[in-house]
Every structure is written in structure tokens, then in C-alpha cells.
Structure 1
Amino acid sequence: MNSIERHATNLADVVYGNEALRFDDPSENWFEATKIYRGSMAWDAPGVAGLLRSQTLQKIATHASKRFDDLPLILLPKPLNTNITLDDVIKERRSADYFSGGSVSLEQLSTVLQKSYGLVERKEGPRRPIPSGGALYPLDLFIVANKVDSLDKGIYHFDPYRKGLTKMGDYSEKEFEKIMLQEESVQDFAFAVVISANFWRSRFKYGHRSYRFVFMEAGHVMQNMILLSTAQKINSRPFGGFIDDELMELIGGFNGVDDAPIYTLIAGT
């Protein structure tokens, strides 16, 4: 049996090499730490009981989002109606290999943001358009605007409660492309949406299990953004790989432990 065939039948060799399996593998340790056992539920999810007993904590938990009230707010226009059927938008979705350099409208960007992770008023209180563990909503959206009509090039934070954007600063397009590791696939983009996680928002209730919930939620938001982009004839591609410390420095304000970027949508025409 040649080497390729041997590795094809023994995937452990592909992952671990030919050495003996270790007992301190970081990925396996993380997965084990996020498991829930019936006998240890009280400390696996330490904040569940406390949250159920406190109306104050419940109210605070439903208003999750970074706030930059000291910065000027740019109100977003009302989202557009998308008339394409769900069947058609699923069929038409593609991960774009490149972008042509055209711009998108502020209304289109508003539609992607507000209909993917904006505020939805319901009788039980404010919610978002996606499922979230405990309705804690531990994510924030940062926009890297490159070619958006009526919006200056820069980095912005999406405020779902005030339905607007606050400008965080400027950036270099070339620097951003290098951070995303696939420069040819990113260049000439119109906008990017960086999904960042505030892990503590979920961890105070669900302990280590919260990390699974956070990553699941990022996937829900990304799928919303991809489908909304497709419905508006905007090309898009999700990126899970990037240089973490450089992206955090570009946006600013992250410590890389309690909060960090975890997923990015690149979009354009």
C-alpha cells in the first residue's frame, strides 16, 4: 500500500502524524471542555439559575451590543424589500471568486445589516432575526466600507438599537486585503462585514458551552447576510481565515480574549 492509500485509510495519521496520540491536544481539550454532563450541569452553566431569578439581569441581557454613543450616528435608510423567493435565492447563491469594483447603495447595505442582525420588536421584547442561545446576542457587526454610495470609506460599527452606523476610523484597502490572506479574491470589494464575538455575554450564563453557541450564531448571521446579498444581486464570499491580531488592530478595541473577530463577509458587484 502506498503512502497516499495508507493515509486515506488512517485519517488519524493525517491529523496527528505518525507520533502517538497526545493527551493535551488543544482542539480536543476545547471540545471536551464545552461538553455538558448531567452530573455537573450546575457548574457547566453557572449563570442559568441566577439569570432566571433576576429581572434586572434579564433586562440587561436583552440589550446586548457595543455602544459608541460618544460618536456621531449615521442613520441607515429603511431596508429594501426583496421579492425573490427563498427557493430562487438559495439556488442563485455562490461564493464569489472576484469582484468587479462597482459600488453598492447605502440602502442595500442597510438591508443586509438590519435584516440579518437588526432589531425586531416583539411582544416578548426586542429580538433579532436569528436564533441565539438565551437570546443573549453576543455578536457585533463592524463594516469595512470601500465602495458604498453616500458613505465615506472607513470602518463602522452597526448599532442595531439606533439603526445606524458610527465611524470608528479609516483603513488601508491594501492592508485589509493582505489581512484576509486572499488578496486577489478580496480586491475591488464594495464592503465587508466583520462579525465579532463578545464571549462573556454568553459565557456568564452558559460557561464553556457558550463558545459553541457563539460560533453557531455567527453562522446564522452569515447565512442571513449571504442570502440577503444574493437577493439584491450583490456577490459575496464568507472568509473564516484571516490574520487575527492584524484584523483586531485594524478595527481597534479588541483584547483577543473576551472579544475578537471570528467571521467576515466580503461583498461587492
Structure 2
Amino acid sequence: MSCCVSNQSVIVTGAASGIGKACATYLLEGGNRVLAVDLRQADLNAAFPAPSPALRTLAADISDTETCAGIVSTSVEVFGRVDGLIHWAGRHSIKTWDELTAEDFDALLRVNVTGSFLIAQAVARRLIAQGEGGAIVLTGSTAVIHAPIGGTAGNGGPAYVTSKAAIGGMVRTLARALGPHNIRVNGVAPGVTETPMISNYAQSSRALQIESSPFGRIGSAEEVAEAGCMLISAASRYVSGEMLIVNGATSFG
């Protein structure tokens, strides 16, 4: 499939694996410039071994305010501008309600919720300064619909589900706040997707997911990534404040 975006400078977080890597690859193949961000430089080097003038990798922790500002500054320094953000980075937790501590909960929210806000905030400030609008995509999850309880099956537990539920509200409030600046904010809520995040799923969980999907399979990272890219494209120029469910109708089975 040809890329729906071209000649854009896009920050992609969580880019070393899974959906983030698929997204960065898709954008690069479409003729875009990508700042690929993840926590460890070694993982980014392994994901993108071939140098390209259209690609810059950066190891960074998005749960820190100054670091997020630095991510944006790097994109401006290398590519001259920022046109959009697709934020896939996040943490998973399968701890059950009675296993979780306050420290566990706060650590997950710091990355999945506060980190999402901080990187969106940093990018929005730059987009406003440029004065040409832009687009931001954050990541939720259909775990908010299914409400898994965690445990040995590998599904997300209460901390993870809560963190992803917060993204829907964040998307809506940021969309209203940034709309006057011609900045669109949307979210993608993937279902279970073939990524390293589900590597610890029990076979019974995988089988149940396949059985409940009308397509009879688990979705690919590429399919979710392409949906995220659509939301920063001109094809979605009047779409803002929405959470796009990408799970092959599994939620409705």
C-alpha cells in the first residue's frame, strides 16, 4: 500500500519495535522524514541498521518534560520543522488488582498518561510557533472496552486499562484546545496486535482472540500503523477528537 502522507517531518515514538517500527518504516517508504524515538539507542540501531538522510534515531524517555522538549528541538535541528507526532510508546502491565502497589500504578501512569501529555504538549508548542497547523496521534487500546483483568494469560490489568482509558479524554480535550491553531488531535485504539507486547500471551488467549475476530486472525503492526498515518494525512483534515478502533471488529463479536 502506498503511503498516505508524503514530504512530512514526523516524530514517531516507540519506534524500535512493533507498531512504532512499522509506522516509521511506512512513513520513510512514502518519502517522509522521521525522527524515530525509543528508550534505548541499541534497540533503535537494531531496528534501523541502514543510515538514511530522512531518518534520525534518538534514545529518550518521554515521561520527562525537558526530554520531550529536546525531542522536538532535535527534529527542528535535523529536518527544519515538525509536521506531526505519532506516539506509540507505552508500557504494559499484567499485574492484577491485588498485586499492584501504588508505586506500580504511578510508574505506569507516568509513562502512558503523563508521557503522552508531555510529548503532545511539546509538539503542540512547536506547531503553534510554526503557524501552519499539524496533527498529533496518541495511542489508546481496546482493552478499555474489553476490560481485561491481567494475570498469567498475559492480558493487560487494571493499571494498563486505566492508563489507556485516560487517553480518550486527553485526545478530546486537546483537540478542542488546539483546534483554533489548526492542530488536529486523534487517537488509535488497537486491538490485540502481533507485536512483542503480546509475546507473553498464553496460547489460550491467542486462540480466543483469533476465534472472536471476524477475520479469523490477529491484526498486524503494519495495519495499525497505517491507520495512525491516515490520521495525520490530508484525508483526515476534518477529523479531530476521535479514537479510531483498529481491531477488525473484534470488539463487536
Structure 1-normalised TM-score? Answer: 0.27
Q: Bigger relative contact order, structure 1 or 2, given CA contacts below 8 A and separation 6+?
A: 1
What TM-score do you get using the length of structure 2 for normalisation? 0.29
Over alpha carbons, which structure has the higher Rg? 1
